[in-house]
Structure 1
Amino acid sequence: MVGLADVRGWRPSDLESVFDRLGTHRDALVGLDDELSDTRSPDGWSGDAAEAASLRHDELSEEMRRLVAGLAAVRRGTAEAADALVAVRTALAEAEELARSHGFQVQENGIVVDVAPPQVAPSQVDTVRRERELIRAEVIERVNQVVRRAADIDADLAAVLRAAANDAVDDGESASLVDADAAGAGQGGLSTLGPPTDADPSANAGWWDSLSEAERARLLTDSPELIGNLDGLPAAVRDEANRARLDGERDRLEAEIADLQRRLDDRLLGGWFTDLDDRLDEAREKLAAVDAVENTLDRGDRQLLLFDLSHDQARAAVAVGDVDTADHVAVLTPGFTTTVQGSLEGYDHQMRELRRQAEDESLRYGDGGSVATVAWLGYDAPQADWGLLSPADAVWSREPAQRGAEELADFYRGIDASRAEDPHLTALGHSYGSTTTGYALQQDTGVDDAIFFGSPGLGTSDVADLRIPPGGAYVIEARNDAVADFGGLAPFGSDPNQLDGVTGLSAREERLPDGRRLSESVGHSAYLAPDSTSQYNISVIVSGNEDRAVHDDGRGFGDRLSGLVPDLYR
């Protein structure tokens, strides 16, 4: 069984030397091809001796072809193993450097120990402990994937060597040694290890890092559906893989729509007593979702981080900017009635404007860092349809938010796991999406700040349940926003703007100290309006300039009502 000590002791250069020596032997043997052919029975020689010589020549030729095929298989397997080991050892070095830079150590047996815990203020103990637990868990997953990939390489190469030793490499009925060389090489390739089955973002990141460049390229070409939606992989990789699937999904949906329409047309009663109408509507909606994704990507400077048509609703996440390199990353989760086909382009526009505003604030007063913003439509948001009658799908139910929170938490964790240095990560949640965000943040996610706007509740009545640094939770409530004004009536915990430890940000008309005048956001859907106080406040938090924020408790009629009738809000 392969262990971490074995990986540390492996030397790819030794395999490269073997590859070179095998190449010398291969060249010498293949160089005998013409001579072997010329030694067949001379012209005019006949009789028993000639037949015996011819038979022996054929046997020798077959032995030579099988020898060359076996040698070619081993040579290719050795070359691919050497490349793979370079990638594995690089991945191990990166995991060990991640551990070292945070005060951990990867021991010989693979156990990760905390050798240099930092001294922090008492108020920061819980936050730092959670952050270090996340880092340690990431190191463990990365080391596990290194060992998993090393074991796969070892098993593959051993299988090639056994086949050659047992004369089991088929020469493919070759007519020459050159042909036998090609046939054998075709059987010496190592398999490409698939992603881990548990879908943990750190495990996904470790698996991807353990692959060679050739293996990664092969996966992107042959199996983009395996990697495009894997949290923990680089944003550029996910974008390339998901874009590669768009045309195929469009062709599939168009064919499905044509088939369903034909079947409906052939039926005397149309869609009566069948589900053909519903299936046709769903296929058309998903085709419209593909249109929305492509229209959004056509705007340029976008990354398609999620593209999934396998659920009842289409799912997608599109970034403005480069999530792999941005200093500050913000992820927006919207809520009720959100769909990819109907909402993505609008949210993408808002994210583009927010990114522009945040980068302006970063240049004006902050660290000048770059910003990427993401519209994450990665769960089945409640809809204004028959789902309102289902406790598992209705907007007043916790269940859609709780289900979506699992996916969202992995998306957050994946951003950190995909990068050598974590960005400043801000979670943005609007309306029912703020509830989904609140549930997600009750897990360890690596999120640094969270802004909830138009929120009916965060899934808790205690801000300490949100596993983000103290002071990192913000709420914005606009005037005449009925959803936020009556937050606390729904079964999602207390009204966010009445929670201790949540900082209120203004949505009113304001004048900034530098003279800029900002407009008021009114109602439930104007929080990200350009040049509004609300958008400005979100932008300064996203860009790490929280000291520039304009504060307000945002309390309205519903909040006053809660003071008169507190039992309604328990």
Structure 2
Amino acid sequence: MAGRRGAGGGGRHRDLGEQLRELVVEVAAVRRALIANVGEVEAVQRQLAEADALASSYRFRILDDGRIEDLDKVVVGGPGSRLDDEDLYRIRQVRPDLVERVKRLLAQAEDADAELTKVLRDADLNLMETGDGSLADAAALGEARGLAETVEPPPPGTPADNARWWESLPAETRAAMAEAPPPWLGNMDGIPAVVRHTANINRLDDERTVLQGQAAQLRSRLNQPYPGPGGRLQKSLDQQELQRLDDKLKSLDQINNVMERGDRQLLVMDSSGERMKAAVAIGDVDKASHVAVFTPGLESAVEKGSLGDYDQSMNLLKADAQALVARDGGNVATVTWMGYEAPQLNETLEPTDSVVADNAARRGADRLADFYRGINESRTNDPHLVAVGHSYGSSTTGYALQHEGTGVDSAVVMGSPGIGTPHYSTIGVPDGQIYNLESKWDPVADLGRFGFDPSNMPGVDNLSTSDAVAADGRQLKESAGHGTGGGGGYLDKGTTSQYNVGVIVAGKPDLAVDARG
């Protein structure tokens, strides 16, 4: 009797276990759907709040069924109606824009609802999943995201403050935030690179959705008349803003293209301001023994493909430096830092923001200095950190290195119009660790516009850009002109200048080829 009773209990236990498994898998499917939809729902809510605010400011109201009510009850062409410019603008431009916004938001909400309904229906049909993306993965991600969302951002602070805040979190919370980091961690200097990368990658689609929504609103507005004396000016401003939004969307495409090359970390993605800012590392910035941060100059812009071009140069530089440090057990990471808005020749700028002024360089330097600090602060062991700057980017680099405590160990400037000071002693790198490269026929390198011509500055080591022989016997080629690539540029493979940058990044300056004369 006891044996039979035990067998029956065992069978019921197995049945109950199977039922629980089925139930939990269904719950996992629903949780996964909710996680996937939460971003879209939040975006709809934000856009609806914006539409409500716009409607209220122009004396409209959005009804529950999506219709737009005119609180002033103005009827175009009605008996005795006299419409001023403001009423015409409200009715002919604002109202159609609101109608289009609400229509689009309803469509987004219906799509989200349909997707969730499908998952709920599938769960009700008791779909069983195995392998990747199964219960364990969904549960872990859901729990991590839930825990991470309970953490409030720290007060604005320095990279050191951010690093201390991160380390002060319980280990379980840090692990959860590394698994599912909130978006605001992506651009926070002092946070581990791998966490910043995950946060930025996770918000790429959300960033695109927001920008597309803003662009759609502007296109709808531009299809309407612009009445009144200021209409022409407002239309021109809207056209310029639409171009900026389209450029930022192109920038997201460029970022995606670079990330698909693999072994990359997206350390900055910032759509505020006139243009998209970004920084992409090759290798692991958290673990590399040598980290080089390259800052480009005039005309560099993510939407123009500059990020992809410089990333290729940094990939070659990383390979060359890695070959030099491999025997010592070291490893190298290189970063293309486009975290500031470099001057563009085709823009109409205030004189203070043009390439002949240093305002953009100084603003960029504040961000760049924090980026340097953040790399050191986020690690338990400091890497050999090398700052590399070209053209206007070398001036930005020079200003950044005049900030205290950047942790930069060596600096290389190429085609530099000046590093922001006539005195080497104000540059915060160890003595003898700032190097200058000036190619043949590079007019910018002799300008000395921002401080002094580095090639004539005491304390700066001038390295060769001429034909030369490397320490390992390789024949190196001369570089010419002001460019970094495209044949004979500062960072083209096989040039003396590119070789010299590589040995500095590798921490082997004794292998560099010095300039003569």
The TM-score range, normalised by the shorter chain, is 0.5 to 0.7
Distance 1:552 1:333, change over 3 A: same
Taking the aligned partners of 1:418 and 1:400, their CA distance within structure 2 comes to 27
Taking the aligned partners of 2:335 and 2:468, their CA distance within structure 1 comes to 27
- The answer to whether 1:461 aligns with 2:422 is yes
Question: Which structure has the bigger radius of gyration?
Answer: 1
Distance 1:220 1:265, change over 3 A: farther
Aligned match of 1:362 in 300, 325, 341? 325
State whether residues 226 and 232 of structure 2, in contact with CA within 8 Å, keep that contact through their aligned partners in structure 1.
no
Residue number in structure 1 paired with 2:263: 301
Q: Which amino acid in 1 is paired with 2:301? A: T
- The answer to whether 1:522 aligns with 2:480 is yes
State whether residues 295 and 390 of structure 2, in contact with CA within 8 Å, keep that contact through their aligned partners in structure 1.
yes
Structure 1 runs of 4+ off > 4 angstroms?
189-193, 217-223, 268-271
Deviation at 1:259, TM superposition (A): 2.2
- Per-residue deviation, residues 27-59 of structure 1 (Å, max 9, x unmatched): xxxxxxxxxxxxxxxxxxxxxxxxxxxxxxxxx
- The answer to whether 1:201 aligns with 2:163 is no
> The residue matched to 1:249 in structure 2 has which SS?
helix
- Per-residue deviation, residues 126-173 of structure 1 (Å, max 9, x unmatched): xxxxxxxxxxxxxxxxxxxxxxxxxxxxxxxxxxxxxxxxxxxxxxxx
TM-score by length of 2: 0.67
Taking the aligned partners of 2:246 and 2:385, their CA distance within structure 1 comes to 36
> The residue matched to 2:278 in structure 1 has which SS?
strand
> The residue matched to 2:352 in structure 1 has which SS?
coil
Taking the aligned partners of 1:214 and 1:363, their CA distance within structure 2 comes to 35
Q: Which amino acid in 2 is paired with 1:240? A: T
Taking the aligned partners of 2:434 and 2:492, their CA distance within structure 1 comes to 21
Residue number in structure 2 paired with 1:256: 214
Q: Which amino acid in 2 is paired with 1:354? A: L
What are the ranges of 5 or more consecutive residues in structure 1 without an aligned counterpart?
1-188, 556-570
Aligned 1:97-496 pairs, distance under 5 A: 192-216=150-174, 219=177, 224-267=182-225, 272-274=232-234, 275-342=237-304, 343-363=306-326, 367-388=328-349, 390-443=350-403, 444-484=405-445, 486-488=446-448, 490=449, 492-496=450-454
Q: Which amino acid in 1 is paired with 2:259? A: L
TM-score by length of 1: 0.61
Taking the aligned partners of 1:233 and 1:441, their CA distance within structure 2 comes to 21
> The residue matched to 1:206 in structure 2 has which SS?
helix
Taking the aligned partners of 1:543 and 1:335, their CA distance within structure 2 comes to 24
Deviation at 1:218, TM superposition (A): 5.3
Residue number in structure 2 paired with 1:541: 504
What are the ranges of 5 or more consecutive residues in structure 2 without an aligned counterpart?
1-146, 484-488
Deviation at 1:271, TM superposition (A): 8.3
State whether residues 148 and 173 of structure 2, in contact with CA within 8 Å, keep that contact through their aligned partners in structure 1.
no
State whether residues 148 and 181 of structure 2, in contact with CA within 8 Å, keep that contact through their aligned partners in structure 1.
no
- Per-residue deviation, residues 343-392 of structure 1 (Å, max 9, x unmatched): 1010111111100011112236xx3410000000001111113444x133
Distance 1:481 1:446, change over 3 A: same
Taking the aligned partners of 1:221 and 1:517, their CA distance within structure 2 comes to 48
Taking the aligned partners of 1:194 and 1:336, their CA distance within structure 2 comes to 38
Q: Which amino acid in 2 is paired with 1:320? A: I
Taking the aligned partners of 2:175 and 2:212, their CA distance within structure 1 comes to 29
Deviation at 1:278, TM superposition (A): 0.9
State whether residues 507 and 520 of structure 1, in contact with CA within 8 Å, keep that contact through their aligned partners in structure 2.
yes
Q: Which amino acid in 2 is paired with 1:547? A: D
Q: Which amino acid in 2 is paired with 1:483? A: V
Deviation at 1:203, TM superposition (A): 0.8
Distance 1:518 1:276, change over 3 A: same
> The residue matched to 2:204 in structure 1 has which SS?
helix
> The residue matched to 2:389 in structure 1 has which SS?
strand
State whether residues 387 and 393 of structure 1, in contact with CA within 8 Å, keep that contact through their aligned partners in structure 2.
no
Residue number in structure 2 paired with 1:17: none
Q: Which amino acid in 1 is paired with 2:274? A: D
Pairs aligned (count): 360
Taking the aligned partners of 2:360 and 2:427, their CA distance within structure 1 comes to 19
- Per-residue deviation, residues 451-496 of structure 1 (Å, max 9, x unmatched): 0001000000110110110000000000011111x231x2x11100
Residue number in structure 1 paired with 2:91: none
State whether residues 148 and 176 of structure 2, in contact with CA within 8 Å, keep that contact through their aligned partners in structure 1.
no
Distance 1:419 1:495, change over 3 A: same
Distance 1:359 1:258, change over 3 A: same
Q: Which amino acid in 2 is paired with 1:304? A: L
> The residue matched to 2:436 in structure 1 has which SS?
strand
Deviation at 1:299, TM superposition (A): 0.3
State whether residues 195 and 204 of structure 1, in contact with CA within 8 Å, keep that contact through their aligned partners in structure 2.
no
Residue number in structure 1 paired with 2:457: 499
Q: Which amino acid in 2 is paired with 1:477? A: E
Residue number in structure 1 paired with 2:116: none
Deviation at 1:222, TM superposition (A): 7.2
Q: Which amino acid in 2 is paired with 1:381? A: A
